[in-house]
A and B are shown apart, each in its own frame.
Chain A
């Protein structure tokens, strides 16, 4: 074989070696800026992230050859936090880059504990300036037995909370519950419960 042929084969061998090493990867950082712990899935992997914590993963994109082949990939980030409603979003990760996905509060939450001796059947809420209560806020009609606690997400605003309890389905309303995005409000409910108004700032002297 001539020198040209040998050179051509060597060039092809070097070319082949180069081709097999063109994996594309990118980094995804998920920062939990919400007030509560995030639990969910990142590209099918179960993940929990503490408040102000972060999760980092390397996403394998694929193989490419020069300008041919993938340079990005989309992965699904899904989950929820007490102050973040359940979501599922597609995040695009580019090869060789770090993509940051931020989880932020988009709701407030009520931590409701049943201190009464009977089961709470339903909880409904209405805006303070409305007379109409919405649907049952308990998941899949799950009740709250005595001593148990449930978390209920509520948008920012002033809410009246209607509690349906006991076999006779008594109704009671807790009025004037002010809630903000990212805020957790704890109610240890019993009959005749009155929601304490927020402490007013001390008068200036």
Chain B
């Protein structure tokens, strides 16, 4: 199958998962982010990773500077509201004094970091410390109050009882101890933050390594390696046996066709929104980015 620019530039795309049972148990999908950072920490490629860890409030993430695999495992799993990891890069570099930093972010966070690396106006000696940027696929992000609203009002759940949140197969899922509840994404539509509606990037096109569930079977993740650095770390983690991979042949379902459809869908829909806003005289910073 031929794909265009909707995936951004990449070196290889594979289906992958962490081999470590401990990581699989807590992983959102294939545990790629946890496994890669864990490998990079062990090998000294990074000294710390800024990840979205738990806070005092249920399902409200907080950026955490993880320096051990245990800390990574404690932070594993997707949270569907903001974790301003880019902000915490300062804490990692300045307070923790970490010389080699990795971080994980949504496409918009990777954009902020890449812009900072290209134009480091006032971020003295931060850009040169970044060694591994992992991007996660992202259609949209929700304010915490939105999640509280649709989990409580539409799903009838207490936020404290939810053990896992997930988006897939056109649905938003919330697991509790005894059941897995799902509502159509049409029901959550409209609760996402408005800034996401002009975002052109579904597959973290500017990350070193980008990963997400879409395209791969349950328990696996789709992984794009994009930069030389990202590819060499990923391949080394595979060689070390921490990550297993399989090629995207026709037997892998749902496959890259679905990913392509969603990536293009996001660009098309948000380009239209961008054009509507510009007609009203509102600013939108992206132009060519919507093309594929």
A interacts with B? no
Residues of A within 8 A of B (CB): none
